[in-house]
Structure 1
Amino acid sequence: MNIIQLTPDNIDREHICCVIADKKGETCVSSKKAWMSDRFADGLVFKRLDARGKVFIEYIPAEKAWCPIHADGYMHINCFWVSGQFKGQGYGSRLLEECIADAKAKGKLGLTILSSPKKQPFLSDAAYLKKKGFFVADRAEPYFELLYLPFEADAPLPRFRETAKPGKTDEDQGFVLYYTNQCPYTDKYAPLIRDMAQERHLPFRLVKLESMEEAQACPSPFTTYSLFYNGSFVTQEILSEKKFSDILAKL
């Protein structure tokens, strides 16, 4: 199968993998595609397998990444996903190899990506990446790891911005949810759990990060979606109504 790269010329007619199996999610596609279209000028690359499945990689120069990291000269992988029937067939390796080749051709020092020691929702698989040569560059609470693949032995070490390391916000009362349109589901599910909280008369502040600068100042490494409660990080998983109800019961 071929690999397709999305561009300003074809993005309107090509699917973006994440929501093709969920008809309810189709209404969220426009927000993600608009976000991507605005990032192409910053060097965003989105490649996917020419198939009806979730097999894709998205990356951008780290200076332009919507992620609170110091990684000048690196290429940052926003999202890297191979799922379902496509696992174990080498497609992930092909996408990663294309990313590496592209980054080297553009004179980059290496790659960076968010992960965690144990597999977490919406974070890339550390075990797989470490087999591919990635190392841990830095850590942030409660379990985030910044992995990197240097192209030269003396490449500088990337790191998280200090504001993203403690896993805390200055707001110590109620919920705060930071999110962006980097994922097609956030525009649907972020307001949904805000409304659930408000129905229960729980303090809840929704913060949509609208610029790279706002994202790079976020108190969580995962700017796509990060929920805090009473000042402490809770989860980066994009929550359904049921999952948010489960969290409310635990808290």
Structure 2
Amino acid sequence: MNIITITKDNLEEEHICCAISDNNDCQVMSKKAWMAERFADGLVFKKGDVRGKVFIEYIPAEKAWCPINAEGYMFINCLWVSGKYKGQGISNELLNECIDDSKRKGKKGLAVLSSKSKMTFLSDPKYLKYKGFLLADTALPYYELMYLPFEENIEKPCFKSCAKDAKIDEQGFVLFYSNQCPFTEKYVSLIVETAESKGIAFRVVKYQTTEQAQNAPAPFTTYSLFYNGEFVTNEILSDKKFAKLLANL
């Protein structure tokens, strides 16, 4: 399998590897628009030359859409290999591409958002530990910031204080999200419609800038749902899953 690097020059033509095949889909378009604005910040997106979910996306940590302090590190937004491509060493190949590129750029190491156990949309902690990543910091309720240092005795990255406690000072539902993942735009609209149909207070906060994301109240700025001030989930909910959540609450 050949590895392709997505740039502003080939972004419109290339498939970006998520589970949406139509480049004209609103979700794909929103993701590509987000990527186009990030290339100037050093965003790198490498993918296999296949029609599947085989890619790694990373960016200098100073520009990461994550509330962390990680000067000199490279931050992995997403490493995803699924379906028939799993178990072939492709994840290792993509990660090695990121490591080699980061070293060439003089980075101290890699940082990535994970969790205590494998969770949806977060990097697998078992795989990261197998590849030598270490625990740098934790944030409630289950987030872990992992790092892979390239040299000894360097400062560990950490979460900003704003994202440590998984709480906000606001009642009702509040959803923080961004277009870093193509799935968000469609499903945010669906659950807002569900809430409105039931007369439920629901406020949406969409991150539009790096600064906003870096001062978020939860580490996963792609999607973080709060209810009555408490963190609920980072899972991108369908309208049916949201209706089930309402029933449970």
TM norm structure 1:
0.97
Percent of aligned pairs sharing the same letter? 63
1:16 and 2:16 matched: yes
- Name the Cα RMSD after superposition: 1.2
1:226 and 2:224 matched: yes
Measure how far apart 1:24 and its partner are.
Answer: 11
Could you list the per-position Cα deviations for residues 109-134 of structure 1 after superposition, in whole angstroms to 9, with x for gaps in the alignment?
A: 00000001111110010000100000
Matches within 5 A, 1:236-251: 236-251=234-249
SS of residue paired to 1:167? coil
Matches within 5 A, 1:71-220: 71-171=70-170, 173-220=171-218
Would the aligned equivalents of 1:4 and 1:50 in 2 still touch at CA under 8 Å?
yes
Measure how far apart 1:187 and its partner are.
Answer: 1.0
Would the aligned equivalents of 2:137 and 2:159 in 1 still touch at CA under 8 Å?
yes
Matched to 2:90, the amino acid is Y
Residue-pair matches, total: 249
Would the aligned equivalents of 1:2 and 1:50 in 2 still touch at CA under 8 Å?
yes
Matched to 1:176, the amino acid is V
Would the aligned equivalents of 1:182 and 1:224 in 2 still touch at CA under 8 Å?
yes
CA–CA distance in structure 1, aligned partners of residues 133 and 34 of structure 2: 28
Matched to 2:169, the amino acid is D
TM norm structure 2:
0.98
Would the aligned equivalents of 1:138 and 1:159 in 2 still touch at CA under 8 Å?
yes
Could you list the per-position Cα deviations for residues 119-161 of structure 1 after superposition, in whole angstroms to 9, with x for gaps in the alignment?
A: 1110010000100000110000000000000001111110000
Could you list the per-position Cα deviations for residues 147-187 of structure 1 after superposition, in whole angstroms to 9, with x for gaps in the alignment?
A: 0000011111100000100000111x110000001011111
Measure how far apart 1:71 and its partner are.
Answer: 0.2
Would the aligned equivalents of 2:75 and 2:111 in 1 still touch at CA under 8 Å?
yes
SS of residue paired to 1:124? coil
SS of residue paired to 2:88? coil
